[in-house]
Amino acid sequence: MILKIGDVVQVGPCAPKDMPEWECCCTFCASKSTRIGVMIRTEFDTRVGVALFDFGEWPMHAEDFDPAPVHQGFGGKAKVISTS
Domain borders along the chain are 8-59+73-77
Separation CA 10–CA 76 (nearest Å): 9
Separation CA 38–CA 19 (nearest Å): 29
Task: Enter the DSSP assignment of 4.
Answer: -
According to the model, what pLDDT value does residue 74 have? 47
Question: pLDDT tens, 20-72?
Answer: 677 788 898 889 999 999 999 998 777 889 999 999 999 998 888 876 555 45
Separation CA 12–CA 15 (nearest Å): 9
User: What is the mean predicted confidence (pLDDT) over 5-29?
Assistant: 81
Stated pTM of the model: 0.79
